[in-house]
Amino acid sequence: MYRCELCSVVIQPNSPALRVILETRPKVYAERQRANKVRIRGKRKPLHANDPGGRGWEIVRAAKVCRTCHDKWVQEHGTPGAESMALHVYDEPMMDEMQSEG
Ligand SMILES: [Zn+2]
């Protein structure tokens, strides 16, 4: 049981929560040396592989919503959130700022 965060309607108990992603931001993941342990068959010690880092998205704000609000959101945005993130355009100067956050 929960309350819809958009229209405050109370959702019946025993119903799984529906979520929509309200806001996302681009994120740069730094390269990390020796970050991943890789087990090689026959070798006792795991090797350490580098993580190449990369770019992705972070969820800034998500909401638990009722079926009505969820369907309305999907109708307006095409998806509850995740897939629409790929449609965002990267802003290069902003990416550089974010990199310093580590
Ligand atoms: Zn609602």
What total of structural domains would you count in the chain?
Answer: 1
Distance 56 CA to ligand 1 centre (A): 29
Q: Which domain covers residue 94, as residue numbers?
A: 2-30+60-99
Residue 79 in domain: yes
Distance 9 CA to ligand 1 centre (A): 6
Residue 40 in domain: no
Q: Is the pTM of this model over 0.85?
A: no
Q: How confident is the model at residue 45 (pLDDT cuts 50, 70, 90)?
A: very high
Q: Residue 11 class from Cβ within 10 Å (0-12 exposed, 13-18 middle, 19+ buried)?
A: middle
Distance 81 CA to ligand 1 centre (A): 16
Q: How confident is the model at residue 92 (pLDDT cuts 50, 70, 90)?
A: very low
Report which secondary-structure segment, H or E, holds 23. Answer: strand 18-29
Distance 86 CA to ligand 1 centre (A): 26
pLDDT tens digits for range 48-91? 999 999 998 888 889 999 999 999 988 888 777 654 444 444 44
Instruction: Report the distance separating Cα 94 and Cα 23, nearest Å.
Output: 16
pLDDT tens digits for range 7-32? 999 998 988 888 898 888 889 999 99
At 93 the pLDDT is 45
Helix, strand, or coil (residue 92): helix
Residue 92 in domain: yes
